[in-house]
Amino acid sequence: MFKQQFSGDAGILWSLVIFQFSIFSDCYDIYSFMIILQHLVEIFIKMEITIDLFMCGFLLSVPKNCFSDNMLPLRMHGLVTSAGRISAGYSSLTTARKKLQEELGIALPKDAFELIFVFPQESFMNDGKYINSEYNDVYLVTTVDPIPLEALTLEETEVSAAKYISYEEYKSLLANEDSNYVPYDVSGQYGQLFHIIEKRYKEKAVARSLTLQKQISRYAAVSLNAELTGITESDREALIYIVKAAAVVDEIFYLQVVFKLALDDRSSLDDNEAFLTTTHSAIQLHPKATRAVKGWKGLEYRASFPIRKPSGANLYPPDMDKMEFEKWKDNLEKYQQKEATSFFTVIKRHSDFRLDSSSSDNGEGGGHDLYVVPYSEEHHSLLAKAAEFLHKAGDIATSTSLKRLLHSKADAFLSNDYYDSDMAWMELDSKLDITIGPYETYEDKIFGYKATFDAFIGVRDDEATAQLKLFGDNLLDVKGPQIVAFNLPNDERIVKDRGTSMVMLKNLTDAKFKLILLPIAEVCVAKKQQEFVDFNSFFTHTICHECCHGIGPHTIVLPNGQKSTVRLELQELYSAIEEAKADIVGLWALRFLVSQDLLSKTLLKSMYVSFLAGCFRSVRFGLQEAHGKGQALQFNWLYEKGAFSLHSDETFSVDFSKVEGAVESLSREILTIQAKGDKEATGLLLQKYGVITKPLEVALRKLQDVQVPVDIAPSFPIAEEMLKTHEPSHHLVK
């Protein structure tokens, strides 16, 4: 079916992050201090009050021994404990939290700890006969004010005293190799610490504001509305509750992808690297972090803002890697392995839970530190709220199929079983079309297992929907009674039993074409071919792209006879190769439909030139994003085959004599890899072609010079108006 979108920011896959910024001045009274711990010596809490340069917090360094599998030596930035060996079941983050609490009596939640860098360190043992290699994880805790010394509870066997000292003096002492301090090479990798501090605090508010405005200008603001004619009064009332449920789902989305930060600013503008830092994030009061001091309200810290977004977002512990997960999973029962790799579960640590709950359990022995939590438990309060709104909407809605969808989706939020609700979505036949729940797995860059919550609220365009029947009738491998551009669900059980459905977002696609694709074509496409860039080709290829998500293998049989899925076998590489497949096979499908006289032959040139311009659009999302990496793969393959040419004026054109064969060869390559579930071949293909090559550099530089927007930042006035009301009211939606 064809629908017009007007709500559901969290689910807009082309523009997942909507930015809201507040510019901070440098006039705050901020203090700075870091903790330097030494075994049976003094503890130094370093503080400096300045105008231009300030830093606050604790600095913790936890080494990971490369040679030991079951024991890790512990050091917290200068503290080497004599009995400081901990179980490998503890992560470095958990270790930092534990030792801070044990040595200084400061108990803080994990969102207070920011991993700022990792550096290697070697030490010689047994008169130089052995080399011990360690990787030190360096954490920073940023506080608003200094902690009163009397609030600390020192472990006397490890710590003798505490005092304040400026961080600049600390740098000088290290540089001079003062014997009272654990040695670190400030001119080497450890010097990152001081570089980070200076970059963070010396930059003036005016300069930061100008840079920020330049970054924001990369996103073109656009207001999107929808035609509500034909929607019954009851359904309009139900719509208000549905929009409210979507707003709750939006909250869950940000909890899943922004590492549980309560931020004043959300910023990750380039390849998942933050523009703003922890110094701009929200202040959290933790009055019980230390012992109480008269006249002091308690410790205030800033929620950590990762320098780089964790690969697993907030779907896994931020310090978990693939090896730890696989080792844990391999020791689980089959049904537990299924839960661990489920779309609808989050992975957490027992040790974090024990620290958060102040449990006396030391966690040693017994099971592994990782465990599974269903989304229905992890986000219970928000999902219960969203479910209540959906049930109210279902009670009001007039369409039988819409009622079924809303009630079943509300039940799924609390049961964590989405099969029935997704089947109800597949069978939806309503002027209002609702897609809400956990679907896409783009944010899980570790494995591609975990789905994030999306919300799309659409009004079906019946005339345009009827035109899409052509694609469903003639692309034979696309299953399902209706073609409803996202293609869902991803659950292989439903794909096998019922197929997939496609939703086209016409107003969003139109905005992207006018504000982004046309300006890109004017800059990057040769003048003689610019006339071939048109909306019809762009939109029709988008339709085929979504159709082709349903084409090709999903459930496969491995060489050993075991049944699996392409997603499970390709893991974190799946999203990029799947987006490339949908794109390139979609282009092949267009050519097929033209050859069958089902589409006009006027598309033959326009579809290829529009695709060329689209390559530059998607690559600008960055190679960390699935669509960007997949598009780089396609462009570079076609360029290598001579299908695309770069001219002396730094514009590009399509060689129509070569493009058809190049498209077919890449389609065959990707489909074959997916059919085999060959992760190694996928990795090699992406490693060779999914990169920024010289021709792409030329295009990206030109687009940056003329400041063509990277994407759109949509607003939805109808939905915004609905969110302002407490009870449904007819005049709001007429």
SS3 of residue 61 by DSSP: strand
* Sequence-distant (≥ 6) Cβ neighbours of residue 405 within 8 angstroms: 394, 421, 424, 425, 428, 430, 434
| The token pair that represents 533 in the structure block | 């860039």
pLDDT the model gives residue 474: 58
Q: Which residues contact 364 (CB under 8 A, 6 or more apart)?
A: 87, 89
Distance CA 397, CA 432 (A): 10
The confidence score (pLDDT) of residue 205 equals 60
- High-pLDDT (> 90) share of the chain, %: 37
Res 218: pLDDT: 79
Query: Which pLDDT score, from 0 to 100, does residue 726 have?
Result: 67
More confident residue, 307 or 315: 315
Backbone angles phi, psi at 305, to 5 degrees: -115, 105
Q: Report which secondary-structure segment, H or E, holds 338.
A: helix 334-340
Residue 688 pLDDT exceeds 90? yes
Least confident of 170-174, 493-497, 694-698: 493-497
Q: Note if the bond before 489 is cis, omega within 30 degrees.
A: yes
What is residue 459's predicted lDDT score, i.e. its pLDDT? Answer: 86
Task: Report the interhelical angle of 659-676 vs 626-640 (nearest 10°).
Answer: 130
Instruction: Look at 224 and 651; give whichever has higher pLDDT.
Output: 651
Q: Between residues 148 and 70, which one has the greater pLDDT? A: 148
CA dist 731 and 299 (Å) reads 48
- What pLDDT score was predicted for residue 469? 61
Across 122-149, average pLDDT: 74
pLDDT at res. 502: 63
CB 440 within 8 A of CB 454: yes
User: What number is the average pLDDT over the span 106-121?
Assistant: 84
Please indicate whether residue 28 or residue 404 has the higher confidence score (pLDDT): 404
Tell me whether the omega of the peptide bond preceding residue 714 falls within 30 degrees of 0, making it cis: no
Burial class (CB in 10 A: 0-12, 13-18, 19+), 413: buried
The model's pLDDT over 237-263, given as tens digits with 9 standing for 90+, comes to 999 999 999 999 999 998 998 744 433
Which of 106-120, 276-290, 450-464, 536-550 is predicted with the least confidence, judged by mean pLDDT? 276-290
Residues 6+ apart with CB under 8 A from 648: none
pLDDT band at 514 (very low <50, low <70, confident <90, very high): very high
Give the residues across from 159 on adjacent strands: 41
Q: Residue 499: its pLDDT value, please?
A: 67
Tens-digit pLDDT profile for residues 562-595: 888 898 899 889 989 999 999 999 999 899 989 9
Contact partners, residue 53, CB within 8 Å, separation at least 6? 197, 198, 201, 202
Return the minimum-mean-pLDDT range out of 207-221, 387-401, 464-478, 514-528. 464-478
CA 731 to chain centre: 38
For residue 727, the model assigns a pLDDT of 63
How would residue 521 be classed by pLDDT, with cut points 50, 70 and 90?
very high
**CA-based radius of gyration for the chain:** 28
Distance CA 635, CA 689 (A): 8
Q: Residues 378-396: what's their mean pLDDT? A: 97
221-225: average pLDDT: 86
d(CA 7, CA 240): 11
Residue 39 pLDDT more than 50?
no
In this predicted structure, which of 160-169, 365-374, 713-722 has the lowest mean pLDDT?
Answer: 160-169
pLDDT-derived band at 486, boundaries 50, 70, 90? low
Looking at residue 27, the DSSP 8-state letter turns out to be -
What is the value of pTM for the model shown?
Answer: 0.69
Of these ranges, 170-174, 334-338, 507-511, the one predicted with the greatest mean pLDDT is 334-338
Rounded to an integer, the average pLDDT of 419-438 is 92
9-13, 152-156, 384-388, 565-569 — which one is most confidently predicted on average?
384-388
Residue pair 39/115 in contact (Cβ under 8 Å)? The answer is no
Q: Measured between alpha carbons, how far is residue 112 from residues 22, 107, 279, 285, 306 in Å? A: 21, 10, 12, 11, 11
The better pLDDT of the pair 612, 369 is held by: 612
Condensed to tens digits (0 to 9), the pLDDT of residues 73-84 reads: 222 332 222 223
According to DSSP H, which parts of 596-693 are helical?
603-619, 626-640, 659-676, 679-689
- DSSP, collapsed to helix, strand or coil, labels residue 196 as helix
Q: How many Cβ atoms from other residues are within 10 Å of residue 519's Cβ?
A: 18
Q: How confident is the model at residue 264 (pLDDT cuts 50, 70, 90)?
A: very low
Q: Residue 690 pLDDT > 90, yes or no?
A: yes
Give the length of the chain.
734
Where is average pLDDT lowest: 115-129, 358-372, 593-607? 358-372
What was the pLDDT predicted at 168? 80
116 pLDDT band, cuts 50/70/90, is confident
Q: Residue 504's pLDDT is what?
A: 66
| pLDDT recorded at residue 37 | 28
Q: What percent of the chain has pLDDT over 70?
A: 74
Q: From CA 115, how far away is CA 400, in angstroms rounded?
A: 51
Mean pLDDT of the chain: 77
* Comparison of pLDDT for 674 and 135, the residue scoring more: 674
Which of the two residues, 84 and 491, has the higher pLDDT score? 491
Please give the residue that has the higher pLDDT: either 222 or 18.
Answer: 222
Is residue 361 pLDDT above 50, yes or no?
A: no
pLDDT at 552: 75
**Over 60: is that where the pLDDT of 642 sits?**
yes
Q: For 702-733, write each residue's pLDDT tens digit.
A: 998 888 888 888 888 888 888 887 665 544 44
Q: What is the mean pLDDT of residues 279-305?
A: 86
Cα–Cα dist 554/300, whole Å: 50
pLDDT tier at 85, thresholds 50, 70, 90: very low
For 525-568, the three-class secondary structure string (H helix, E strand, C coil) is ECHHHHHHCCHHHHHHHHHHHHHHCCCCCCEEECCCCCEEEHHH
Q: What is the pLDDT of residue 485?
A: 54
User: What pLDDT, on the 0 to 100 scale, is given for residue 334?
Assistant: 92
State the average pLDDT over residues 531-548: 88
Q: Which pLDDT belongs to residue 157?
A: 77
Question: Is 269 in contact with 275 (CB distance < 8 Å)?
Answer: yes
DSSP letter at 673? Answer: H
Spatial distance between the Cα atoms of 549 and 568, rounded to a whole number of angstroms = 16
